[in-house]
Chain A
Amino acid sequence: MHWQAAYGIAYITPGMLIFLVFCIAPIFMTLFYSFTEYNLAQPPEWIALENYAKVFSNTQLRKALVNTVIYVIITVPLQTIVAMLVANFLAEYLNNRYGRFLRSVIFIPTLASYVAAASVWEVILASKGGLLNEILGIFGVGPVNWLGDPKTALICVSLVAVWKSVGYFTIIFYAGIMNVDVSVREAALIDGATPRQRFWYITVPLLKPITYLNVTLGIIWSFQAFDIVYKLTGGGPFGATSTVAYIIYAYAFQDFRIGYASAVAVLLLAVILIVHFVQQHFFEGKED
Chain B
Amino acid sequence: MKKLLVLTLASAIGIGLLAGCGGQPAAENTGSGAPSGEATELTLWLPIYQFGDGISDADFWNEKLDAFEAEHNCTVNLEILSWSDYATVIYTGMLSGAGEGPDVVYVTETYDLIDAGLIAPLDEYITDEDREKYVFLDQGAYNSDGQLCTWPMMAGNPCVIFYNMDMLEAAGITELPTTWDEFYDVCVALKEANPDVWPFIQSWGATNGVSAMLASFWPFFFQAGGEVLDAEGNLNLDSEATLEVLSFINKMKESGIFDDSIVTMDDPNGKFVNGEAAIIINGTGNAATYTEQGINWQCSLGLEGSAGLATNFSVDSLAVASYCENKPLAAELIKYITSAKCMDDYHEQIYGMPSLTTDATYTEPEPFQSMYTNDADKMHVVPSFEGSASFMDQFQQNVQGMLMGQLTPAQVIEQTMAYYNEQIVS
Contacts and interface: CB of A to CB of B under 8 A. Distances in A.
Q: What interface size band does chain B fall in?
A: 35 or more
A interface secondary structure, majority: helix
Contacts of B394: 60
B255 to A, nearest CB: 18
A40 B91 contact: yes
A86 interface: no
A256 interface: yes
B396 A236 contact: yes
A82 interface: no
Interface string A218-251: 0010011000001101111111001000001011
B10 A239 contact: no
A110 interface: no
Contacts of B3: 280
Contacts of A230: 207
Contacts of B12: 22-24, 26-27
Contact of A30 (B18, B261, B403, B424): B18
A132 to B, nearest CB: 14
B263 A238 contact: yes
Contacts of B207: 230-231, 234
A250 B393 contact: yes
Contacts of A237: 205, 263-264, 400-401, 403-404
B26 interface: yes
A250 B390 contact: yes
A39 B16 contact: no
B116 A233 contact: no
Interface in A88-139: 126-128
Contact of B390 (A234, A239, A254, A262): A254
A272 B85 contact: no
A251 B390 contact: yes
A148 interface: yes
B397 A216 contact: no
A255 B390 contact: yes
A253 B22 CA distance: 12
Given A26-B12, A40-B116, A148-B261, A250 B27 contact: no
Nearest to A128: B261
Given A40-B116, A238-B398, 14 more contacts: A41-B95, A42-B27, A43-B25, A60-B394, A145-B264, A216-B10, A224-B13, A236-B264, A254-B393, A255-B387, A256-B116, A265-B14, A272-B10, A272-B11
13 contacts: A26-B20, A40-B21, A40-B23, A44-B25, A54-B423, A54-B426, A149-B260, A220-B14, A235-B393, A236-B263, A236-B264, A237-B404, A254-B390
Interface of A: 22-27, 29-30, 33, 39-44, 54, 57-60, 126-128, 145, 147-150, 216, 220, 223-224, 230-231, 233-239, 242, 248, 250-258, 261-262, 265-266, 268-269, 272-273, 276, 280
